């Protein structure tokens, strides 16, 4: 079944002149189908370099929406319409307008895990790979409103020493990772290093060796001498870490760190997406231009080369 399904996907990709992009948290079988796998920043950059008529985006909605913003002349499809990021719904334009009214001098830095309508009210976007660099690019002394992720915001405020007004959003998957998980695993694997995502709680960041995006974790895993790594992020990343580093051991901080929305997309739904050209991601005309500007500013600032070491 899967062999025939993947053959049909390959044939349809050629017929439609399509590429498949996927986030590092996708299920293993979907990761195996892709032309490009990456973190949020890598996927945004890949979306600017695509030479195809159709992009099948395997990730959550805000990621596909970013690809659609960057590719107005191409068709962007998300195989599962309801694959949304709950954090992106934890803020909205009314909330951002209220924060701006309370802090009229502040710049608004918005994590890409947000809707295009919120991005449209922002000075610049960031991902977890470049948040420190983006915040450092704001003129010195100017306060910064950071939305929606309180944990990434707090981490960046600590790293930069900038005055930041933090919103209250969070990732329901990453807050499942607790310091007790890490402390217990460190005892079991004394030679292991601990890498965690900056969406984790402060108490988890506190007990980690490396704090970085999923792309930063992939880089760090290649470069480190450590024989084993405890991985404090969504469990899907462990598949690619293992593929790329067959001689190292990767231990999820907790197997409860699963993002149900990232797991909605299957090989079958990718096939249906290509067969029926569904579901097309469109960005409302009134927010297209300002949200694209905030993303383009981020892309101009560039990626931070490696994960932040503690």
What is the contact surface with ligand 13P in residues (CB under 6 A)?
Answer: 24, 39-40, 113, 127-128, 171, 197, 199, 213-214
Q: Which is nearer to ligand 13P, 55 or 195 (CB)?
A: 195
Cis before 148 (ω within 30): yes
CA distance 283 to 266: 24
Residue 122 interacts with which of ligand 13P, ligand SF4, none, CB < 5 to 8 Å by class: none
Number of shown-chain residues binding ligand SF4 (CB under 6 A): 14
**Considering only CA atoms, which of 94, 126, 87, 90 is closest in space to residue 108?**
126
CA 221 to chain centre: 18
| Interface segment toward ligand SF4; rule CB under 6 A; list 2-10, 46-54, 81-89, 220-228 | 81-89
86 contact, one of ligand 13P, ligand SF4, none, CB 5-8 Å limit per kind: ligand SF4
Q: Tokens 């292991």 label which residue?
A: 192
Does position 131 interact with ligand SF4 (CB under 6 A)? The reply is no
Among 124, 125, 171, 229, binds ligand SF4 (CB under 6 A): 171
> CB of 67 within 8 A of CB of 156?
no
Residue of 200, 181, 197 whose CA lies nearest to 189: 181
Q: Residue 40: name its binding partner from ligand 13P, ligand SF4, none (Cβ under 5 to 8 Å by kind).
A: ligand 13P
Report in angstroms the alpha-carbon separations of 130 from 96, 153, 198. Answer: 21, 12, 11
Residue from 173, 213, 254, 291 in contact with ligand SF4 (CB under 6 A): 173
Q: Does 234 bind ligand SF4 (CB under 6 A)?
A: yes
Three-state secondary-structure class, residue 64: helix
Give the footprint of ligand SF4 on this chain (CB under 6 A): 60, 85-87, 113, 171-174, 199, 234, 259, 261-262
């Amino acid at each position: 079944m899967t062999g025939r399904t993947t053959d049909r996907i390959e044939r349809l990709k050629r017929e439609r002149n399509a590429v498949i992009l996927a986030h590092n948290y996708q299920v293993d079988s979907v990761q195996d189908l892709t032309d490009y796998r990456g973190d949020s920043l890598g996927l945004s950059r890949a979306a600017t370099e695509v030479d195809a008529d159709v992009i099948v985006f395997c990730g959550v909605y805000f990621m596909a929406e970013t690809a659609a913003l960057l590719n107005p002349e191409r068709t962007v499809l998300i195989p599962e319409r309801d694959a949304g990021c709950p954090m992106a719904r934890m803020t909205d334009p009314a909330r951002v307008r209220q924060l701006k009214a309370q802090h009229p001098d502040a710049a608004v830095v918005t994590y890409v895990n947000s809707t295009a309508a919120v991005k449209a009210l922002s000075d610049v976007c960031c991902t977890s790979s470049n948040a420190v660099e983006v915040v450092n690019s704001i003129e010195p002394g100017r306060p910064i409103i950071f939305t929606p992720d309180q944990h990434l915001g707090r981490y960046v405020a600590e790293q930069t020493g900038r005055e930041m007004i933090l919103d209250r959003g969070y990732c329901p998957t990453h807050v499942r990772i607790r310091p007790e998980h890490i402390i217990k695993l460190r005892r079991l694997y004394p030679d292991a290093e601990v890498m965690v995502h900056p969406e984790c709680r402060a108490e988890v960041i506190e007990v980690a060796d490396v704090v970085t995006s999923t792309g930063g974790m992939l880089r760090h895993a290649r470069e480190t001498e450590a024989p084993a790594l405890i991985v404090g992020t969504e469990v899907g990343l462990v598949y690619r870490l293992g593929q790329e580093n067959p001689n190292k051991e990767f231990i999820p901080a907790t197997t409860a760190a699963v993002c149900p929305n990232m797991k909605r997309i299957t090989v079958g739904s990718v096939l249906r997406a290509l067969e029926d050209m569904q579901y097309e991601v469109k960005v409302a005309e009134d927010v297209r231009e300002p949200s694209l500007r905030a993303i383009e500013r981020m892309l101009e600032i560039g990626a931070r080369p490696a994960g932040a070491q503690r």
